[in-house]
Chains A and B, each alone.
Chain A
Amino acid sequence: MRKRWILVTTWLLMSAAGQAMAGGGPSSRDTSRLEEGERIYQQYCASCHGSEGEGQPNWERQNTQGELPAPPHGPEGHTWKHSDAMLYRIIAEGWRDPWNKTERLTMPAFEDVLTPAEIRSVINFLKSLWTSEQRHHQAEESVGASFPTQSE
């Protein structure tokens, strides 16, 4: 928990520094959105992906049921490799690994549970778990593949 708050604080400080360099200060709106993202994460995502975003053990291999366990969201995972548009789609519509041995979705769909703005908030919270290089990589991947307009 403490580690997570350090990451969030670091991310906020970096955002603040970035905005200060750009001529603006950190807005309370951004801060509250990030807090909202974390609240949603803890409520809906942490049970599978871990309260620290650590994922499930042996997440890279199918479990005994033939399903892929939930991956971590931190630097060791692969969430940062996906564009905003793809992350949004995966959370909204869910996703089934084609090698899954059951009919269940690998990642459940949340479009009937979360609003578009909430999905965007939780993704923005996940970004606070990445390194600056990973955020940069993901920002490049999101060029031309950004959040859908309804999430604004």
Chain B
Amino acid sequence: MNKITSRFWRALSLTSWVMASLSFVSMAGATEEALPSLSYDQTGERLLKVQANQLFESTDGRAAWTMIPLPDEVAEGRLVTVSATAEQALYIAGPSIGVQRSIDQGESWHEIDEGLPSQDVIAFTVHRNQPETLYAVVVDDGLYQSEDTGTTWKKMDSGPAQAVRRLIHSDMEGSMQTGWLYAVSDDVVRLSMDCFCGWRPTGDLNAGRVYDLAYKLDDPEHVYVATEQGLWRSDNGGQEWQQVRGNAPTLVALTLAPQGTLYALDREGELMRSEDQGQTWTPPDA
């Protein structure tokens, strides 16, 4: 009897250990994926931050964040990105959230993803100069485009083979169509013309995990990427990268204001600012 009891407790403790290990891996994955994101709303002259499934704005470029109301469904999903357009529309997107639009600063939200095959949207962006043109990456499916603010969607491409963390539209010159799309994956940044005739890796960027990308609005060939090994800069759209030497902490989200001010978030969602192309960073209140 004692032998049976001993085996039972041993099996139970082993099972508990396995379960605990699995839940640790799962939590680690969840933590890893729940990085904050940042964008600059040119029309509203404000910073927009997504952190811990919540949406915030800062209108003074400082770390005073005001919460923007979100739809209830966000609690069941994972909010990954926010975009604002010249028409003062706000878009949010994420797995299990799909794509939702608000034109009253978050007081009400409308799902605009009926034309997508699922609500598992892992990346989203708005065309730089055409606010009615939206792009959404659906997990394990591909990249969809809407040219009527989400009323209809059309699959354009299967997308890069690697999962896309961020999608950014750029009006950099040289595209056959109207611009380019940067797709940030863990391993590298890829680029495609917005006619989707092939994804090309940007220049060598041996910098560990890649987190985010931002480009200068009035000079889109100037691009920055935040990586595990610091900040990198390109003056030719990403063909070649140079590491920015300075005091930057590990930054996981980046955006550029029109005057060239770089804003970034660290892992904890703390805002940092640089006025010298990423060399020195200070908290905005400093």
Partners in one complex: yes
A30 within 8 A of partner (CB): no
Stretch of B89-97, B107-115, B191-199, B266-274 with 4 or more beta carbons under 8 angstroms from chain A: B191-199
Mask: chain A, 4-41; 1 = CB below 8 Å from B; 0 = not: 00000000000000000000000000000000000000
Chain B min CB distance to A22 (Å)? 25
B200 within 8 A of partner (CB): yes
CA of A78 to CA of B193, assembled, Å? 11
- Are A82 and B239 touching (Cβ within 8 A)? no
Within A37-66, the residues touching B (CB, 8 Å) are: 60-61
- Are A78 and B198 touching (Cβ within 8 A)? yes
Interface size class of B (residues with CB under 8 A): 10 to 19
- Are B154 and A78 touching (Cβ within 8 A)? no
- Are B195 and A86 touching (Cβ within 8 A)? yes
Which one of A61, A97, A98 contacts B173 once the chains associate, using CB atoms below 8 Å? A98
Most buried by B among A60, A95, A99, A140: A99
B156 within 8 A of partner (CB): yes
- Are A82 and B176 touching (Cβ within 8 A)? yes
Main DSSP-derived SS at the A contact region:
loop
Main DSSP-derived SS at the B contact region:
loop
- Are A60 and B195 touching (Cβ within 8 A)? no
Which residues of chain B come closer than 8 Å to A109, judged between CB atoms?
none
CA of A82 to CA of B195, assembled, Å? 7
Mask: chain B, 19-47; 1 = CB below 8 Å from A; 0 = not: 00000000000000000000000000000
- Are B239 and A81 touching (Cβ within 8 A)? no
Mask: chain A, 71-82; 1 = CB below 8 Å from B; 0 = not: 100000010011
Which residues of chain B come closer than 8 Å to A71, judged between CB atoms?
197-198
Interface size class of A (residues with CB under 8 A): 10 to 19
Within A94-143, the residues touching B (CB, 8 Å) are: 95, 97-99, 137, 140
Chain A min CB distance to B210 (Å)? 19
- Are B176 and A90 touching (Cβ within 8 A)? yes
Chain B min CB distance to A4 (Å)? 22
Most buried by A among B177, B196, B237: B177
Most buried by A among B174, B176, B237: B176
- Are B177 and A78 touching (Cβ within 8 A)? no
A61-B200, A78-B198 known; 6 new pairs, CB 8 Å cut-off, are A71-B197, A81-B195, A82-B176, A86-B177, A98-B237, A99-B239
> 8 smallest A-B Cβ distances: which pairs?
A98-B174, A78-B197, A60-B198, A81-B196, A81-B195, A99-B239, A82-B195, A81-B197
Q: Can you show 27 pairs from A to B with CB atoms below 8 A apart?
A: A60-B198, A60-B200, A61-B200, A71-B198, A78-B195, A78-B196, A78-B197, A78-B198, A81-B156, A81-B195, A81-B196, A82-B176, A82-B195, A82-B197, A86-B177, A86-B195, A90-B176, A95-B176, A97-B174, A98-B173, A98-B174, A98-B237, A99-B200, A99-B237, A99-B239, A137-B154, A140-B154
Which B positions have Cβ atoms within 8 angstroms of A? 154, 156, 173-174, 176-177, 195-198, 200, 237, 239
